[in-house]
Chain A
Amino acid sequence: MKLLTHNLLSSHVRGVGPRGFPLRLQATEVRVIPVEFNPDFVARMIPKVEWAALLEAADHLRLAEVPKGPIQGYEQDETFLRKMHHVLLEVEVVEGTLQCPESGRVFPITRGIPNMLLNEEETET
């Protein structure tokens, strides 16, 4: 699971609503795989990023060199965009968990794939 994805995910446990974001990320296995740098795509993503959530997740993965926020003129700033490209797209959690901050419910990440399915009780209406 990439950090861009983590930034778009929220807990859907019943009753939790917007307090389910962001999910608390823990990882037991992380890998870095190079992805071709596409500055236009990265620049497009910058306005969609919730920075506090990104910094928190990056912190849990002990990543260095994570920009603290968008900078003036980021669209043309290759250094900034390359750093964001790395953080958002090249770091992958292979094994780990995502935890709902409100309910404590844990969603596992296995082989890089989060499992967001809820149990019977959690979906009962």
Chain B
Amino acid sequence: MALPGSLNRYLLLMAQEHLEFRLPEIQSLLSLFGGQFTNNQGTYGKSPFWILTIPSEDIARNLMKRTVCAKSIFELWGHGKSPEELYSSLRNYPVEKMVPFLHSDSTYKIQIHTFNKTLTQEEKVKRIDALEFLPFEGKVNLKKPQHIFSVLEDYGLDPNCIPENPHNIYFGRWIADGQRELIESYSVKKRHYIGNTSMDAGLSFIMANHGKVKKNDIVFDPFVGTGGLLIASAHFGAYVYGTDIDYNTVHGLGKASRKNQKWRGPDENIRANLRQYGLEKYYLDVLVSDASKPSWKKGTYFDAIITDPPYGIRESTRRTGSQKEIQKGIGKCPESHVPVSLNYHLSDMFFDLLNFAAETLTLGGRLVYWLPIYTPEYTEEMVPWHPCLKLISNCEQKLSSHTARRLITMEKNQDQYSHLLSDQFLPYQGHNSFREKYFSGITKRTAKEEKSSQE
């Protein structure tokens, strides 16, 4: 263990995916485990190498038990822009911090990782030999060493322009790997019950992490669909509730979303999804309910609300109301009784969602949701706000050339004024016709293609 009472520097090796989402994930998790995020590096941007200061190794390990954005974490012993700088930096690292891992009773191995370059075995051995000056007294064990040390060489991000020498070299003691294997084990491809808009597994875990979900929390998804977001929270030990306006989806009835499958089978419902991963004990209930007219009693009992509201493109945005509208593709189940559906304007939906979150979240609880945007018109002012909810992060994922969605994370920091009476806080109105704008680009492009093919 690292010496208590001192702040230690760690090197996080990040996965190069969902770049904007990584920093809020790490920050949220560190705050969940009591660490303060200290920015040692200025900006993290696109780099996969992040240097952080973390109060203890326990916090670092807890972080790695949750993150899907970070591949590994190392206790940083030295770094530099050249081998000489690295060795000098290592010589400055306090020996008393090294000794517990190098003493004669222990076993170890040294690994060389290079990023954006391949080294020969010979070149790797040379680098390991150059570290002989370190006071290693233990025995080398390549199969099951007690301690693993890594040299990480950064050759930049451009595979078409690989430098002769690395930009940065790091040396550290490997501590733990992150949870990236969850992405494969929870893959939507293998899931029993899916829908047209089931969330990618990696993103669902990122959302649960942005939401600071913890063991014994109650997490709610008001647009639950097939329950994908609940799975991630349940995996982290939270008990889960979901509601959806679509009777068939909640019950697991109707047409299947899988190619080659006509109708959903008996094992296809939200509960079955949790059961598939051994998480059924975290299933509380799902209800058929209109998110704009919730049936929850007055009070604060949700620790997190994590959701992907419909954008009106692949799934329709609906709510019950007094206008009649014919819905295409709803299964002819007689009990389904979706009374009527009114076009649910997106701005109304977010207004309702933020209000609902302000009323039912516990203090400190988080709301995590996707906000669809039309890129040419987007400004930060359009992100809905609420006096009781503090904006924590806003991360973009591109959907097409002119549309994107943003993962918004908010935290409830006060109980007063929790019911807004007007929508003065909603400059999001401009996106009400998101559906039209989404398709407008496609129409323009098709027209252009037709024109050029005629020429």
Contacts and interface: CB of A to CB of B under 8 A. Distances in A.
A21 interface: yes
A113 B320 contact: no
A50 B216 CA distance: 19
Contacts of B250: 113
Interface in A84-125: 89, 110-120, 123-124
Identify which of A2, A8, A112 gathers the most chain B CB atoms within 10 Å of its CB.
A8
Contact of A120 (B286, B288, B293, B320): B320
Interface string B328-353: 00000001011110000000000000
Nearest to A7: B297
A21 B297 contact: yes
B294 A12 contact: yes
Interface string B237-252: 0010101010100110
A115 B297 contact: no
Given A48-B301, A118-B339, A35 B288 contact: no
A40 interface: yes
A9 B295 contact: yes
Contacts of A112: 285
Contact of A113 (B216, B284, B286, B297): B286
A25 interface: no
Given A8-B296, A11-B295, A117 B289 contact: yes
Contacts of B294: 12
Contacts of B295: 9-12, 116
A115 B288 contact: yes
B298 A120 contact: no
Contacts of B322: 120, 123-124
B299 interface: yes
Interface residues of A, number: 34
Nearest to B285: A5
Contacts of B285: 1-2, 5, 112-114
Given A8-B297, A10-B298, A113-B250, A123 B239 contact: no
B299 A36 contact: no
B245 A117 contact: yes
B135 interface: no
Nearest to B335: A110
Interface centre among B250, B251, B287 (most CB of A within 10 A): B287
A18 interface: yes
A117 B341 CA distance: 11
A89 to B, nearest CB: 8
A114 B288 contact: yes
A116 B301 contact: no
A116 B288 CA distance: 6
A38 interface: yes
Given A8-B301, A18-B298, A123 B320 contact: yes
A118 B293 contact: yes
Interface in B225-244: 239, 241, 243
B46 interface: no
Contacts of B340: 120
Contacts of A124: 322
A44 interface: yes
Interface in A32-65: 35-36, 38, 40-41, 44, 48, 50
Interface in B204-220: 215-216
Contacts of A12: 293-295
B251 A111 contact: yes
A103 B267 CA distance: 37
Interface core residue of B243, B293, B294, B335 (most chain A CB under 10 Å): B293
A4 interface: yes
Contacts of A48: 299, 301
13 contacts: A2-B285, A8-B296, A8-B299, A9-B295, A9-B296, A36-B281, A114-B285, A114-B289, A115-B287, A115-B288, A115-B289, A116-B287, A123-B322
Interface of B: 215-216, 239, 241, 243, 245, 247, 250-251, 281, 284-290, 293-299, 301, 320-322, 335, 337-340
Given A1-B287, A21-B298, A115-B289, 7 more contacts: A1-B285, A40-B215, A110-B251, A112-B285, A115-B247, A115-B287, A120-B339
Interface of A: 1-2, 4-5, 7-12, 18, 21, 35-36, 38, 40-41, 44, 48, 50, 89, 110-120, 123-124
The 4 A-B pairs of least Cβ separation, nearest first, read A10-B297, A116-B289, A115-B288, A5-B285
